[in-house]
């Protein structure tokens, strides 16, 4: 066998809470997992400051430290963690088939099972002032960071279900929430719209977008642009939440694995099974609804158990009837 082809039992693609939890369980089940970290080792949590909502950390923990500890825990049981990107896959449709994955356009991994934990990436507006103040008051996760703006004035961008849900969440803890919607209507479900409209400290601005986020080191205000009148208006805020959607990192699986129209991998019922035998998906790559570290970790555990059971069925001697 060439040096550039390696055969393993379980390949885990992605190193967020889903990937590392899958690794902990897979390693303890002796599946000798290999994790490829991807471009952002540790995943989305490494771009967060304090994680206050993961059970077991009464004082909270910073995102990068938590991910380092998860990695160490996975390694303690024999997981091999490698820095690298899976750049292409060739997935088998056969039960017991071998799946192939290319690492950094070079080496090939042949795996009996693959656990996809590639996560998702929050979309940003991509204007310079917003990019500069990411981590300084600009956030894409109200549930993660909203608490730091308790009693303060904040704004949120977006008109979908996520924005509506996060706006209501923020309205419960902040003094005032201004919601910027670029169209003259809200895309969110009627139920969510009613919820938003019932909150006295939440002001919805239609036909309104971000012109500039104000502040040097931290967010101090927002310059809004009315796209109908071209009028600009400044408001004082300390936090700006971007809730304009997420993109699952599943491009390399397109055309091979069943996904919904937005690229989220479809899993079977309550399991992490995809339409392909031996390929499992967990975390944000298959969840557009909850997207929390703890739910990702939970599905990571499920994916490893599903992989272990799958291997047991294909390795068990066939019964002679
Ligand atoms: P959506 O794609 O549904 O909504 C994105 C929102 O952001 C839209 O209002 C869109 O505006 C706006 N937007 C996009 N780009 C920009 C931009 N550059 N500037 C300003 N505004 C922008 O994403 P969601 O994350 O809200 O939802 C994703 C999916 O998950 C949906 O199917 C949703 O129903 C589902 N979901 C369900 C929940 C639940 O049932 N509890 C909770 C959360 C999500 P425009 O309308 O003009 O395009």
pLDDT in tens, 80-136: 999 999 999 999 999 999 999 999 998 999 999 999 999 999 999 999 999 999 989
Which tops the pLDDT comparison, 40 or 213? 213
pLDDT at 160 over 70: yes
CA separation (Å) from 320 to 96, 316, 317?
19, 12, 9
Chain-centroid distance, C-alpha 247:
9
To which residue do tokens 């082809």 refer?
A: 5
- pLDDT for res 1: 46
The residue whose CA is least distant from atom 18 of ligand 1 is 125
Instruction: Sort 235 into a burial class: Cβ within 10 Å, 0-12 / 13-18 / 19+.
Output: middle
pTM here?
A: 0.80
pLDDT band for 40, please (50, 70, 90 cuts). confident
| Nearest atom (ligand 1) to Cα of 245 | 25
pLDDT in tens, 232-272: 999 999 999 999 999 999 999 999 999 999 999 999 999 99
- pLDDT for res 13: 98
Judge whether 104 counts as a catalytic residue: no
How far is 317 from 88, CA to CA, in rounded Å?
Answer: 33
Domains for the chain: give ranges and CATH numbers.
5-121+246-315 (3.50.50.60), 124-242 (3.50.50.60)
What is the overall mean pLDDT for the chain? 94
For ligand 1, the distance from its centroid to the CA atom of residue 112, given in whole angstroms, is 37
Helix, strand or coil, per DSSP, at residue 124: coil
How far is 35 from 10, CA to CA, in rounded Å?
Answer: 9
| Ligand 1 binding pocket mutation candidate from 161, 189, 194 (most atoms within 8 A of CB) | 161
Mean pLDDT over residues 270-294, rounded? Answer: 96
For ligand 1, the distance from its centroid to the CA atom of residue 245, given in whole angstroms, is 5
| Nearest atom (ligand 1) to Cα of 161 | 26
Quick count: other Cβ atoms within 10 Å of Cβ 197? 11
pLDDT in tens, 129-150: 999 999 899 999 898 899 999 9
Closest by alpha carbon to 304, among 125, 117, 167, 162?
A: 117
- pLDDT for res 44: 80
Judge whether 184 counts as a catalytic residue: no
How far is 156 from 208, CA to CA, in rounded Å?
Answer: 11
């Amino acid at each position: 066998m060439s040096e550039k082809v390696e055969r393993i039992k379980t390949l885990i693609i992605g190193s967020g809470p889903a990937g590392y939890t899958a690794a902990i369980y897979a390693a303890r089940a002796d599946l000798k997992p290999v994790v490829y970290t991807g471009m952002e080792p540790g995943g989305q949590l490494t771009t967060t400051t304090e994680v206050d909502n993961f059970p077991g950390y009464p004082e909270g923990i910073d995102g990068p430290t938590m991910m380092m500890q998860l990695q160490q825990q996975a390694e303690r049981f024999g997981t091999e963690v490698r820095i690298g990107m899976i750049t292409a896959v060739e997935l088998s449709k056969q039960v017991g088939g071998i799946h192939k994955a290319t690492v950094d356009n070079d080496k090939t991994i042949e795996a009996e099972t693959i656990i996809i934990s590639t996560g998702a990436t929050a979309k940003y507006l991509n204007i310079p002032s917003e990019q500069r103040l990411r981590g300084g008051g600009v956030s894409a996760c109200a549930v993660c960071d909203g608490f730091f703006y308790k009693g303060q004035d904040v704004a949120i961008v977006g008109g979908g279900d996520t924005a509506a849900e996060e706006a209501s969440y923020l309205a419960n803890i902040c003094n005032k929430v201004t919601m910027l919607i670029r169209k003259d209507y809200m895309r969110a479900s009627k139920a969510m719209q009613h919820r938003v409209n019932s909150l006295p400290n939440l002001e919805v601005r239609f036909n309104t977008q971000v012109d500039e986020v104000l502040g040097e080191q931290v967010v101090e205000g927002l310059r809004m642009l009315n796209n109908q009148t071209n009028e600009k208006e400044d408001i004082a805020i300390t936090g700006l939440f971007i809730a304009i959607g997420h993109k699952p990192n599943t491009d390399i699986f397109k055309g091979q694995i069943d996904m919904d129209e937005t690229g989220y991998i479809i899993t079977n019922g309550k399991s992490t099974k995809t339409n392909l035998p031996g390929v499992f998906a967990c975390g944000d790559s298959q969840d557009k609804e909850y997207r929390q570290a703890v739910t990702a970790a939970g599905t990571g555990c499920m994916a490893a158990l599903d992989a272990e059971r799958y291997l047991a069925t294909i390795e068990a001697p066939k019964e002679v009837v």
